[in-house]
Amino acid sequence: MELTEISYIEDTIVANATPLIPSAVSIVRISGKNALNIGKKIFRKDNLEPRKVYYGKFYSHTGEVIDEGLLIFFKAPNSFTGEDVIELHTHGSVPVIKKIIEEAIFYGARFAKPGEFTKRAFLNGKIDLTQAEAIAQLIEAKTERASKIAINMLEGKLSKQINSLRNILLELMALIEAELNFPEDVESVDNNLIREKLQQVIDSIDRLISTYKKGQILTNGIKLAIVGRPNVGKSSLFNALVGYERAIVSEYQGTTRDFIEETISIKGIPVKLLDTAGLRHTEDKVEKIGIEKAKEKLNEADIIIFVFDASEGWTKEDEDIYEEIKQKNPIIVGNKIDLLLDKNQRNNIFKNIIYVSSKTKQGISSLEDKIFETLNIKESSDEEIYINLRHYKALEKSKEILENSLKNLEMLKDQKEILMLDIQEAEKYLEEIVGQITTEDVLENIFSNFCIGK
């Protein structure tokens, strides 16, 4: 591993691995050269064998008993960080955890920075960068699906793909290099072969890039704004989707003034629903502000549900609002179908209208299906991986260089050195993703987003 610019860390770190809240059991973790020594002192036991669970008392340096619990010693390199690690399993009492950490610090450890345990695991070659990121992603995951995706990354599925692309480029570089070094003995590399290989890598990069936006949707979710003229039943629909009477509903126009938001899960996707004030011309000062906010939310939203009152039909006011928002491809919902006795009364101005009754809940699950369909996300699979922004940027750069090389291939016929340099640079960007070459800045950025103790 080329990590010359990163100094190996000599000191020993300590932190609570579980949150500082009252609980049944908590874990304090110590990692580094001095970990075993500190463990022995706190536990008052001289002989600790690796991977054994010891039961005993934890002592302060002044000799008082802090708590009793378990100790496990993981000997380097067979630990999460690759260093000597001591785990102390205490009762989940906040003062006890704090005291044990203080004692470890007394014996020479330092309180860990966010993500420092994982950073050490990376620096010691236990995991690569995509796997380190996957740990943070797993901890942050809000849905089962998001956690499964993180596990796929943690298992190295992204690294595997990146490395196989790197190999194609490295093989290509080897061929060109041989030609450059031994022009007499080696046949020149066929341009068709180069073209084919470059295209293959570009296509794979494209596929990975396309996972970025969807990954963002899966992990961070989307914003969905419900808009329409007053009284069509936006708040009622909001409540139907949320599952309880969250927003005020009334027969008066202009009931909703401020927007209301609530996060729900649609097939595992976090959806932040926004109920907004009915859009109309009004002289009411407060309502006007609400309408302004509604317009703001409309622009922020990833998806818009445009509600009209199906029992009244498509009115001039509906048409006016629709004209304003149609470029955002809203899902059109005809509400209050329970008031329509005759199905034929349904308005067929648009092909894609979803008819619902927020009152009887009829059609609500079709609407949820429609929302999910709009996101264009497939059902979850075991191979599912989604890249993050850091990967995305590196892939974009790599792709740009390779596309350029591809374009200049004919021109560069006699200048294989340039081609060689380009491929080398493109490969470096791929290397960056798995973290074979990284600067301290990049690492800082990744690990500072972790919580303490990870």
Ligand X SMILES: Nc1nc2c(ncn2[C@@H]2O[C@H](COP(=O)(O)OP(=O)(O)OP(=O)(O)O)[C@@H](O)[C@H]2O)c(=O)[nH]1
335 touches Mg ion (CB under 5 A): no
Of 204 and 282, which CB lies nearer to ligand X in the complex structure? 282
The single residue listed with the structure tokens 């929302």 is 371
Applying CB under 5 A, which of residues 256, 357, 388, 405 lies at the interface with Mg ion? 256
Of 16 and 256, which CB lies nearer to Mg ion in the complex structure? 256
342 touches ligand X (CB under 6 A): no
Of 34 and 335, which CB lies nearer to ligand X in the complex structure? 335
338 touches ligand X (CB under 6 A): yes
- Pairing between β-strand 269-275 and β-strand 260-266 as defined by DSSP bridges: antiparallel
330 touches ligand X (CB under 6 A): no
Applying CB under 6 A, which of residues 34, 358, 388, 398 lies at the interface with ligand X? 358
Q: How many CB atoms lie within 10 A of CB 54?
A: 15
How far is Cα 260 from Cα 225, in angstroms, rounded to an integer?
10
Applying CB under 6 A, which of residues 26, 31, 335, 388 lies at the interface with ligand X? 335
Applying CB under 6 A, which of residues 357, 388, 398, 405 lies at the interface with ligand X? 357
Of 255 and 424, which CB lies nearer to ligand X in the complex structure? 255
235 touches Mg ion (CB under 5 A): yes
Q: CB of 300: closest distance to Mg ion in angstroms?
A: 18
399 touches ligand X (CB under 6 A): no
Q: CB of 308: closest distance to ligand X in angstroms?
A: 10
Supply the angle between the helices 191-220 and 416-434 in degrees, to the nearest 10: 20
Total chain residues near Mg ion (CB under 5 A): 4
130 touches Mg ion (CB under 5 A): no
16 touches Mg ion (CB under 5 A): no
Q: CB of 257: closest distance to ligand X in angstroms?
A: 8
Total chain residues near ligand X (CB under 6 A): 23
Question: Among Mg ion, ligand X, none, what does residue 131 contact (CB within 5–8 Å per kind)?
Answer: none
Q: What is the 3-state secondary structure (H, E, C) of the chain?
A: CCCCCCCCCCCCEEEECCCCCCEEEEEEEEECCCHHHHHHHHHCCCCCCCCCEEEEEEECCCCCEEEEEEEEEECCCCCCCCCCEEEEEEEECHHHHHHHHHHHHHCCCEECCCCHHHHHHHHCCCCCHHHHHHHHHHHHCCCHHHHHHHHHHHCCHHHHHHHHHHHHHHHHHHHHHHHHHCCCCCCCCCHHHHHHHHHHHHHHHHHHHHHHHHHHHHHHCEEEEEECCCCCCHHHHHHHHHCCCCCCCCCCCCCCCCCEEEEEEECCEEEEEEECCCCCCCCCHHHHHHHHHHHHHHHHCCEEEEEEECCCCCCHHHHHHHHHHHHHCCEEEEECHHHCCCHHHCCCCCCCCEECCCCCCCCHHHHHHHHHHHHCCCCCCCCCCCCCHHHHHHHHHHHHHHHHHHHHCCCCCCCHHHHHHHHHHHHHHHHHHHCCCCCHHHHHHHHCCCCCCC
Applying CB under 6 A, which of residues 336, 391, 399, 454 lies at the interface with ligand X? 336
Of 87 and 309, which CB lies nearer to Mg ion in the complex structure? 309
163 touches ligand X (CB under 6 A): no
236 touches Mg ion (CB under 5 A): no
Residue among 9, 3, 140 nearest 82 (CA): 9
131 touches Mg ion (CB under 5 A): no
Kindly indicate which of the ranges 14-22, 54-62, 87-95, 227-235 contains the residues binding Mg ion, using the contact rule CB under 5 A. Answer: 227-235
Residue number with the smallest Cβ distance to ligand X: 278
Of 164 and 253, which CB lies nearer to ligand X in the complex structure? 253
Supply the angle between the helices 116-123 and 129-140 in degrees, to the nearest 10: 160
Site map for ligand X, 241-280, x if CB under 6 A?
Answer: --------xxx-xxxx--------------------xx--
Q: CB of 325: closest distance to Mg ion in angstroms?
A: 17
453 touches ligand X (CB under 6 A): no
Question: Among ligand X, Mg ion, none, what does residue 114 contact (CB within 5–8 Å per kind)?
Answer: none
Q: CB of 287: closest distance to ligand X in angstroms?
A: 9
User: Sign (positive/negative) of CA torsion 416, 421, 424, 426?
Assistant: negative
The single residue listed with the structure tokens 């002592």 is 59
233 touches ligand X (CB under 6 A): yes
Question: Among Mg ion, ligand X, none, what does residue 357 contact (CB within 5–8 Å per kind)?
Answer: ligand X
363 touches ligand X (CB under 6 A): no
Applying CB under 6 A, which of residues 38, 232, 354, 426 lies at the interface with ligand X? 232
79 touches Mg ion (CB under 5 A): no
Of 12 and 236, which CB lies nearer to ligand X in the complex structure? 236
364 touches 238 (CB < 8 A): no
Binding interface with Mg ion (CB under 5 A): 234-235, 255-256
Binding interface with ligand X (CB under 6 A): 230-236, 249-251, 253-256, 277-278, 335-336, 338-339, 357-359
